[in-house]
């Protein structure tokens, strides 16, 4: 837990969010500024800054999150698939420093890397 972390506060219910899912370990909520018709975030409840800080001790939790993602995506109507994005560190464009998996889908999802 981190006192001033935005996503810790969301997971604790101290800042309102549009909840998608919650259990003992993880919390999922809609992105406040969606880039597609469905865009939500899956986070661990325990504060973890990013994948840069992850190690073997997080393997089970991260595995759980990745296998939970398709279940939650289907429940949000993304039967045909979805994009997962994990921005890690400033070099990865991360803005909120509590690890989160973006789950994005619906509408037109273009190739992520454009090659000319
Ligand atoms: P990242 O750039 O990967 O760190 O993503 C941070 C994401 O958090 C962005 O997509 C924001 O739109 C989203 N975000 C920021 N504040 C909130 C909030 N209060 N509730 C929901 N999503 C948020
Ligand atoms: Zn946090």
pLDDT (tens digit, 9 = 90+) per residue, 13-33? 999 999 999 999 999 999 999
Please give the Cα distance from 21 to 30 (Å, whole number).
Answer: 10
CA–chain centroid gap for 32, Å, is: 12
Report which of 76, 77, 84 is spatially closest to residue 100, judged by C-alpha positions: 84
CB 8 within 8 A of CB 47: yes
pLDDT, tens digit, 9 for 90 and up, residues 93-114: 999 999 999 999 998 898 888 7
Instruction: Check residue 104 and give its pLDDT.
Output: 98
Indicate the SS3 state at residue 47: coil
Tell me, in angstroms, the distance from the centre of ligand 2 to residue 71's CA.
Answer: 24
pTM: 0.96
Tell me, in angstroms, the distance from the centre of ligand 1 to residue 100's CA.
Answer: 9
Query: Is 88 close to ligand 1, i.e. is its CB under 6 Å away?
Result: no
Name the residue ranges covered by the structural domains of the chain.
Answer: 6-78+99-105
Q: Which superfamily, per CATH, for 6-78+99-105?
A: HIT-like (3.30.428.10)
């Amino acid at each position: 837990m981190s006192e001033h972390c935005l996503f810790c506060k969301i997971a604790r219910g101290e800042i309102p969010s549009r909840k998608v899912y919650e259990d003992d370990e993880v919390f999922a909520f809609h992105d406040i500024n969606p880039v597609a018709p469905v865009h939500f975030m899956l986070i661990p409840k325990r504060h973890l800054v990013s994948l840069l800080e992850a190690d073997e001790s997080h393997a089970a939790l991260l595995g759980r999150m990745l296998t939970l993602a398709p279940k939650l995506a289907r429940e949000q109507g993304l039967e045909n698939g979805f994009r997962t994005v994990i921005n890690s560190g400033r070099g990865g464009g991360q803005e909120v420093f509590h690890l989160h998996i973006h789950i994005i889908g619906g509408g037109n999802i273009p190739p992520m890397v454009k090659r000319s």
